[in-house]
Amino acid sequence: MELLTFKRGVHPPHGKRFTENKPIEDLQPKDLLVFPMSQHIGAPAECLVKKGDRVLVGQKIGQASGFISANIHSSVSGTVKDVKPVLTASGTKSLAVIVENDGQYEEVEFAKPKDYKGMAKEEIAELVKEAGVVGMGGACFPTNVKLIPPPDKNIDSIVVNAAECEPYLTCDHRLMLEETEKIVEGLKIILHMYPNAKGYIGIEDNKKNAIETMQKAVKDISNIEVKGLKTKYPQGAEKQLIYAITKREVPSGKLPADAGCIVQNVTTLHEIYQAVVLGRPSITRVVTVTGEAVKEPKNVRVRNGMAFRELVDACGGFKEDPIKVISGGPMMGMAISTLDIPVVKGASGILCLTAKQAVLPQESSCIRCGKCVQACPMFLIPSALDSLGRRKDLEGFEEGHGLDCIECGSCTFVCPAKRHLIQSIRTSKRTVLANKRKK
């Protein structure tokens, strides 16, 4: 099989050995679950319950409050103990519903299994919206919006991000091995929406068993093809994945639909199947708990709202105190200061690193080596954008295409001066975008 890839990028140690051969284990929650109303890009959901209410598994407790927003559902049955702001993995606070689990897991009445083959694309998108499905690869963009791009976009390629290029994480890998048919059905649902399109499943070659499993599952499906990808970071970024598979380039400021593509994460396909065929909302996910500090790294399927601490405890706790805990992977994840934060839809991993793995050296002056330029998959000049941002030259930052940065962290990874490039660029991006919203 020819291995495809994109231009530039880096090769961090992938660290997947801890959990790539660990089957998914189901983990049940304890007493309290916390459901932030902001688990997605866009407007927070509007809270639908109050203190003292009883809720059921699958009950909508947060209503999408805008075009770019997503519904929130309870993953347990129990009593609402409080509605108040809580700390999330992003370091910000979000209004959240706190539910005391009664251990009964009494469910709402879910819709009977449906045959999507007789549905219109708008009906499918509405079911996905009602289920609160968002991009499960970390971006958390409402999936129903992605599924219905503007009518002038000619969609001919459905690209499945099964690369899982982020080091240490193996939740997507294990899901491909263990729930293959549901993933394939999720893709077939989108292909039903776009009958003239072809589906491509891109998998990095460090997951050879996943490539073989998916190839076997789609061998008799003429409009789905598995594509092997070189193991390189950030292979799973939308624009890089589209280029690797289709050789099309998404123009600056444009979206995948402008290149005739819809990109969906492999776990998102699983959730689309659950929503459309089974009528079940997005209330669980697989999380990789890993890192050198964890006693027994695992892939666990958990209910949304569980505390990170419960997941770490289920892995035996720490064998040594971690110097850093990250929600997600080491390249794009967020460092967290406490394990008492809830699992949300985009929580793909909990990475616990020792002092040996997470040395935090001091920055030094840029030595003009150009390594960040050579690594950047977006063909930017990270050192220049860093300098512009630190000088508060936001006009120059924008003119230098700073908003095109995908925040992959490749520049910081290769920088011999240990410059905090991605943090500086990310801060400038947030400021520029905030200023645009004020106008």
Does the annotation place 352 within a ligand binding site? no
Handedness of CA 421, 422, 428, 431 (dihedral sign): negative
Q: Which helix (H) or strand (E) holds 286?
A: strand 284-290
Task: Count CB-CB contacts under 10 A for residue 160.
Answer: 29
Does the annotation place 405 within a ligand binding site? yes
Contacts of 335 (CB under 8 A, 6+ apart): 324, 325, 326, 327
Closest CA to 162 of 246, 249, 269, 239: 269
**282 touches 309 (CB < 8 A):** no
Contacts of 121 (CB under 8 A, 6+ apart): 147, 148, 193, 194
**349 touches 404 (CB < 8 A):** no
DSSP annotation string for 230-260? -S-BTTTSHHHHHHHHH---PPTT--GGGGT
Does the annotation place 171 within a ligand binding site? no
Closest CA to 25 of 302, 294, 274, 271: 302
Does the annotation place 315 within a ligand binding site? no
- State whether residue 284 is helix, strand or coil: strand
Does the annotation place 411 within a ligand binding site? yes
What is the 8-class DSSP label of residue 118?
A: G
Does the annotation place 140 within a ligand binding site? no
Q: In what order do the strands lie in the sheet with 32-36?
A: 32-36, 93-101, 78-87, 54-55
What is the 8-class DSSP label of residue 352?
A: E
332's tokens: 């794009």
**156 touches 198 (CB < 8 A):** yes
**138 touches 328 (CB < 8 A):** yes
The binding site for [4Fe-4S] cluster comprises: 366, 369, 372, 376, 405, 408, 411, 415
Residue ranges for the binding site? 366, 369, 372, 376, 405, 408, 411, 415
